[in-house]
């Protein structure tokens, strides 16, 4: 038996150049990135300009052209300050733009993923993408990349100054560079892999936290607090162990580089002392200062590069979400020409085969039936017979393997998903509400006035059930300040406002008392008159007055006829379910004639 959830994967080896290019695309255009690099370069030059000019000024102290040298020095300083401000503001804007763009792109990609993705991906893994990964994208990553660019450019500038002022010292620098590179290359894979494992290890921690929070009342009832606390503690320990591994690797690398820096500075100082008769004191001092600066830069550049490269792992992980297969197109060019029949549309299944996953057996196998416009059809069957799967196929939450589904004169596959799901309304067994006002929950698109919204709410019974009902009332997260029954009635009111051609009810009255159930059945008959309605039954009494009953068994259509006709089949599925429920229906032929009038051929 295959597992539902999939293991989290990670890339191996160094971060690819394509990942860096992807981040640059998130930052903005190539011209904007080039502008930032040039601003940072000018900023680094501006920092060196005053030192070089002071060295020149020192050699001309006897002439005492104070105003001239001071003016040039002030101009260089002003230029440096302006460029520094432009570069820092530009980098802040770039980092913010990249983080915002990545968040938006990942969110858009995520909401377009098929249901199979959410079934196989733990919620903690998704939370990790929008939690820790987004934090790295918001703060450290942009700052690290900016620091790397600054240090690289300053290193190049320092090398140029040293080469011009004390050329012999360049030999020591050239000898030390390969050793710096060797130390960094040795530690770089360890730091990158430790960072990837650290990011991955946070997903189980988020999952454990989310599971504990959502099932807290159950855990307390069964006294399982210690077990889940231990589970969460183990996840935290694993996360911290990988963080510690990364920090130790970075510290070891820095210690080796610091030792090499000391050797480089000592060598450079010795060379300058030996060359004291051939080098001007001011030039020698300038060269020694920049050797010390260069040594520090070489130490920081490798450490910063390792941290920046390891932080780019979050871009890799964002890229995984962006590359996840999506549902079909949300909109198609032909959608604008679609003229769906009103108020109801025919629904036809032709030899439909449906699998939740390619390797699984069909949940629907060769299903064929036709429902006329405006017909009310109840769907019954044992658990696992395919009742809810039928609605899943109609909404294209999972694409069918073969066959054809028609809504009105159009194939479902020829409609964009947005248009299809605007034509078809579903009220699930678990009602969905969002944080916001009652008005926004009932009419998210602001298409109706308050009077229409109140009328729909009153018709569905929410006003009677909740005396304090108000359109301005705030709905808390997941509708926690409303009972399950009240939330279900709100969903009915929302559907009543839209009154789409095809209405799907998936055991929608399971959480509603008998009195409100009867009220809703009356609303279905009177206010949804003309709409095509498919109802998956929890109580058989709710579909007793349906035009026809569709009985499913093991993914096949077992029966499809009027309730009275099916009751006469003593060994039939519907008749058996009715006997178990103690439901008694008339077996006259009046209903049969009505059903035959509504029936259309497949």
Q: Express each pLDDT in 564-580 by its tens digit.
A: 888 888 888 888 888 87
Q: Which residues contact 135 (CB under 8 A, 6 or more apart)?
A: none
pLDDT in tens, 392-424: 899 998 888 899 999 888 888 888 888 888 888
Taking CA atoms, 584 is separated from 538, 541, 559, 574, in Å, by 16, 9, 18, 12
What the block records as the tokens of 96 is 């913010």
Q: Supply the pLDDT for residue 338.
A: 78
Confidence at 602, pLDDT banded by 50, 70, 90: very low
Least confidently predicted of 138-152, 340-354, 436-450, 588-602: 588-602
Q: Residue 353 — φ and ψ, nearest 5°?
A: -115, 130
Taking CA atoms, 205 is separated from 232, 367, 501, in Å, by 6, 43, 45
Confidence at 348, pLDDT banded by 50, 70, 90: very high
Confidence at 304, pLDDT banded by 50, 70, 90: confident
- Rounded Cα distance, 476 and 436, in Å: 7
What the block records as the tokens of 566 is 């099916």
DSSP state of 547: S
Say whether pLDDT at 593 is over 50. no
Asked if 461 and 520 touch (Cβ cutoff 8 Å), the reply is: yes
Helices (DSSP H) in 215-279: which residue ranges? Answer: 216-222, 225-274
- Number of Cβ within 10 Å of residue 492's Cβ equals 28
pLDDT in tens, 557-566: 888 988 888 8
In the block, tokens 């002392």 appear at 273
pLDDT in tens, 467-520: 787 888 888 877 788 887 788 888 888 888 888 889 888 876 666 677 767 777
What the block records as the tokens of 528 is 């949804």
What the block records as the tokens of 297 is 């830069």
Helix (H, G, I), strand (E, B) or coil at 405: strand
Provide the mean pLDDT of the chain: 80
- Rounded Cα distance, 269 and 275, in Å: 10
Q: Supply the pLDDT for residue 63.
A: 59
- Rounded Cα distance, 546 and 566, in Å: 12
Confidence at 354, pLDDT banded by 50, 70, 90: very high
Q: Supply the pLDDT for residue 80.
A: 78
| Domain 342-581 = CATH 2.130.10.10 | no
- Number of Cβ within 10 Å of residue 106's Cβ equals 23
Q: Supply the pLDDT for residue 559.
A: 87
Taking CA atoms, 113 is separated from 121, 156, 243, 546, in Å, by 11, 46, 31, 35
Confidence at 213, pLDDT banded by 50, 70, 90: confident
Listed by start position, the domains of the chain span: 11-153+311-327, 167-278, 342-581
Q: Supply the pLDDT for residue 361.
A: 87
Helix pair angle (169-214, 281-311), 10° resolution: 30
Q: Residue 600 — φ and ψ, nearest 5°?
A: -125, 155
Asked if 133 and 98 touch (Cβ cutoff 8 Å), the reply is: no
CA dihedral 373, 379, 385, 390 (to 10 degrees): 30
% of the chain surpassing 70 pLDDT: 91
Helix (H, G, I), strand (E, B) or coil at 506: strand
Q: Which residues contact 324 (CB under 8 A, 6 or more apart)?
A: 109, 110, 113, 117
pLDDT in tens, 239-294: 888 888 888 887 887 777 778 778 777 877 787 777 777 777 777 777 777 777 77
Sheet holding 556-561, edge to edge: 424-427, 502-506, 532-536, 376-381, 548-553, 556-561
pTM for the whole structure: 0.69
- Rounded Cα distance, 463 and 362, in Å: 44
pLDDT in tens, 148-160: 888 888 778 777 7
Helix (H, G, I), strand (E, B) or coil at 94: helix
Say whether pLDDT at 601 is over 50. no
Angle at 309 between CA 308 and CA 312, to 5 degrees: 90
Say whether pLDDT at 525 is over 60. yes
pLDDT in tens, 69-120: 788 878 888 887 888 888 888 888 888 888 899 899 999 998 888 888 887 7
Asked if 505 and 533 touch (Cβ cutoff 8 Å), the reply is: yes
Q: Supply the pLDDT for residue 334.
A: 79
Helix (H, G, I), strand (E, B) or coil at 404: strand
Is 375 buried (19+), middle (13-18) or exposed (0-12) by CB count in 10 A? buried
């Amino acid at each position: 038996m295959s597992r539902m959830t999939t293991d989290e994967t990670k890339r191996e080896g160094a971060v690819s150049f394509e990942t860096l290019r992807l981040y640059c695309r998130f930052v903005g255009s190539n011209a904007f990135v080039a502008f930032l690099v040039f601003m940072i370069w000018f900023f680094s030059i501006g920092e060196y300009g005053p030192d070089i000019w002071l060295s020149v000024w020192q050699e001309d102290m006897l002439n005492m052209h104070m105003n001239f040298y001071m003016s040039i020095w002030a101009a260089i300083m002003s230029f440096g300050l302006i460029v520094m401000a432009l570069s820092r503001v530009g980098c802040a804007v770039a980092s913010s733009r990249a983080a915002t763009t990545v968040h938006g792109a990942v969110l858009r990609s995520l909401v377009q993923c098929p249901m199979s993705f959410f079934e196989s991906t733990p919620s903690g893994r998704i939370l990790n993408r929008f939690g820790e990964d987004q934090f790295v994208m918001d703060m450290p990553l942009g700052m690290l990349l900016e620091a790397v660019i600054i240090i690289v450019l300053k290193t190049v500038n320092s090398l140029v100054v040293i080469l011009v002022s004390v050329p012999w010292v360049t030999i020591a620098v050239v000898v030390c560079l390969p050793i710096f590179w060797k130390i960094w290359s040795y530690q770089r894979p360890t730091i990158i892999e430790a960072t990837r494992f650290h990011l991955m290890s946070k997903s189980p921690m988020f999952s454990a936290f989310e599971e504990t929070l959502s099932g807290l009342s159950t855990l307390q009832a069964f006294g399982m607090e210690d077990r889940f606390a231990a589970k969460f503690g183990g996840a935290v320990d694993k996360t911290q162990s990988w963080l510690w591994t990364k920090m130790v690797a970075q510290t070891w690398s820095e210690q080796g580089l610091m030792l090499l820096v000391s050797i480089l500075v000592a060598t450079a100082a010795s060379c300058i002392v030996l060359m004291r008769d051939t080098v001007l004191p001011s030039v020698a001092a300038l060269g020694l200062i920049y050797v010390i600066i260069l040594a520090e830069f070489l130490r920081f550049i490798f450490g910063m590069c390792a941290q920046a490269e390891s932080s780019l792992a979050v871009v890799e992980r964002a890229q995984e979400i962006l590359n996840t297969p999506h549902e079909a197109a949300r909109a198609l060019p032909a959608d604008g020409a679609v003229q769906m029949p009103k108020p109801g549309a025919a629904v036809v299944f032709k030899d439909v085969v449906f699998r939740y996953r390619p390797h699984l057996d069909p949940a629907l196998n060769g299903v064929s039936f036709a429902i006329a416009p405006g017909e009310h059809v109840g769907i019954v069957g044992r658990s696992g017979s395919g009742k809810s799967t039928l609605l899943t196929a109609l909404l294209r939450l999972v694409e069918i393997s073969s066959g054809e589904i028609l809504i009105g004169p159009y194939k479902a596959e020829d409609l964009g998903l947005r248009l299809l799901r605007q034509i078809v309304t579903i009220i699930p067994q678990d009602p969905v509400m969002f944080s916001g006002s009652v008005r926004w929950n009932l009419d998210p698109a602001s298409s109706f006035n308050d009077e229409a919204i109140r009328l729909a709410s009153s018709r569905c019974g929410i006003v009677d059930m909740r005396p304090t009902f108000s359109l301005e009332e705030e709905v808390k997260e997941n509708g926690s300040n409303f009972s399950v029954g009240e939330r279900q009635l709100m969903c009915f009111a929302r559907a009543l406002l839209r009154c789409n051609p095809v209405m799907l009810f998936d055991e929608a009255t399971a959480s509603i008392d008998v009195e409100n159930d009867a009220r809703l059945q009356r609303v279905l008959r009177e206010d949804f008159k003309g709409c095509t309605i498919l109802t998956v039954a929890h109580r058989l009494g709710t579909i007793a007055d349906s035009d026809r009953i569709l009985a499913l068994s093991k993914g096949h259509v077992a029966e499809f006829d009027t309730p009275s006709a099916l009751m006469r089949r003593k060994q039939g599925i519907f008749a058996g379910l009715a006997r178990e429920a103690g439901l008694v229906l008339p077996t006259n032929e009046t209903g049969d004639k009505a059903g035959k009038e509504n029936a259309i051929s497949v």
